Chain A
Amino acid sequence: MSSTIKSIAFAFVTALVCSVLLTAASSGLKSFQRENVEVDQKKNILKAVGLIQDNKVYSKEAVKKMYADSIQAVRVSSNGAILKQGEAVDTALPVYIYVKNDQIESYIIPINSRGLWGRIKGYIALENDGSTIAGFTVYKHSETPGLGGEIEKRWFQKNFKGKKILDRQGNFVSISIAKGELSPSFPKEKKPNYVDGISGATLTGKYLTAGLKRTLQDYEPVSIKFRTKQFLQWHSGK
């Protein structure tokens, strides 16, 4: 009997010691971890507009400063109107505006698309003409390395720059990922709406295309405002 009690007592003490240790470690390190996540998010937004290059190393302070200088985070309502600070609307969408010399250069939209193995998270940046893509980055995905995982690579993402989300007639078609490399016989007028796909990762491309289309569709009211030149000046305090 006493050996069972001894076992239970030992187990209890072990559990207690472990919990205290782990909770201490977790709460003690939480502020560092949160800062890392925050800086990481800022870095990704800056990457989407090309303000941060891949192979250079940036200190946390440099990233924070660059972000504070160039990016404004706003929320827009479902009809594209920018919401004020305290305004609470159910369907508010987050948008990041890249401001340079009081002019809006581009706007950055967060992407949360379905992928083959899990969500694909990234940012797509559009120029202030509301139809040309300025940049595209992926920062989180669970795709297979070497196959779908190539979406995080530079070669895949840089193809998005300069592509268009409107077709020749001005209709919204979004951007699509082709199956494998775009063949030379691909119709010329469709090329601005397609990027090279990844061989062996057709499904990843398919899901990402659908996810991008859905998100860009949601943000169409904002894009339309850009196309009709309603958003050009940035007034601080707006």
Chain B
Amino acid sequence: MENLIGIFLNSVFVGNILLAYFLGMCSFVAISKNMETSVGLGFAVVFVLSITAPMNWLIYYFLLSPGALAWAGLPGVDLSYLKFITFIAVIAAMVQAVEMVIDRFSPALYNALGVFLPLITVNCAILGTSLFMVERDYSFMESLVFGIGSGTGWLLAIVSMAAIRIKLRYANVPEGLQGFGITMIMTGLMAMGFMLFSGITL
């Protein structure tokens, strides 16, 4: 149990998928101008990650990894090279489903998110979480917690950035730095701040 809490806290703070591993930047930079859409997108990412991480775990360990097909009588088969393509297909399907759910329950949010909802599919953080999960040999429960944690970390980062950008409207940013440049520098400073969490001991 302590292990799971550890993975959760670490994926939110010290190993924040965005601030430590640079994943999920594209939509992060574009959406963080507005607080409501940031929150909406953040929660959508949490939802998609919580489902795709364990789902990809099942697919990897029962279909693709070396020896996984033993239950079908094919223990010598190693399909792990198909993991990229399979994971992205699962993610695309999942995002399609989430899109339909949001459209049904909150058309306002659906319109606000616009094109960025389908762009969750190519959000590096989603695929990255599944790939890290495979690389780190996580168990099923660990991958579930890792998915939720990564999503929460991403949500935290994008909401914080949106809040900072609201304040930034009253600052005198040099012309060359406006928009992308200052966002990058701010992200760097936020990343530094998050590194302070490495001092936590459970």
Contacts and interface: CB of A to CB of B under 8 A. Distances in A.
* A-B interaction: yes
Interface of A: 18, 22, 25-26, 116-119, 142, 144, 147, 200-203
A193 B146 CA distance: 35
A116 B7 CA distance: 8
A113 to B, nearest CB: 12
Contact of A118 (B82, B85, B135, B202): B135
Contacts of A25: 81
B42 interface: no
Contact of A144 (B6, B14, B81): B14
A119 B85 contact: no
B137 A118 contact: yes
A144 B17 CA distance: 11
A203 B201 contact: yes
A142 B198 contact: no
Contact of A201 (B82, B136, B198): B198
B201 A117 contact: no
Which of A18, A22, A118 has its CB near the most chain B CB atoms (within 10 A)? A118
B10 interface: yes
Interface in B48-106: 81-82, 85
A200 B200 CA distance: 9
B137 A119 contact: yes
A202 B201 contact: yes
Contacts of A22: 81-82, 85
Interface in B8-42: 10, 14-15, 20
Contacts of A147: 14, 198
Given A26-B81, A144-B20, A117 B15 contact: yes
A200 B196 CA distance: 9
Interface of B: 6, 10, 14-15, 20, 81-82, 85, 132, 135-138, 195, 198-199, 201-202
A200 B198 contact: yes
B60 to A, nearest CB: 15
A56 to B, nearest CB: 28
B195 to A, nearest CB: 8
B135 A116 contact: no
Given A118-B136, A203-B201, 15 more contacts: A18-B85, A22-B81, A22-B82, A117-B10, A117-B15, A117-B136, A118-B135, A119-B136, A142-B132, A142-B135, A144-B14, A144-B20, A144-B198, A200-B199, A202-B201
Contacts of B132: 142
Nearest to A143: B15
14 contacts: A22-B85, A26-B81, A117-B10, A117-B136, A118-B136, A119-B136, A142-B135, A144-B15, A144-B20, A144-B198, A147-B14, A200-B198, A202-B201, A203-B201
A26 B198 CA distance: 40
A26 B201 CA distance: 43
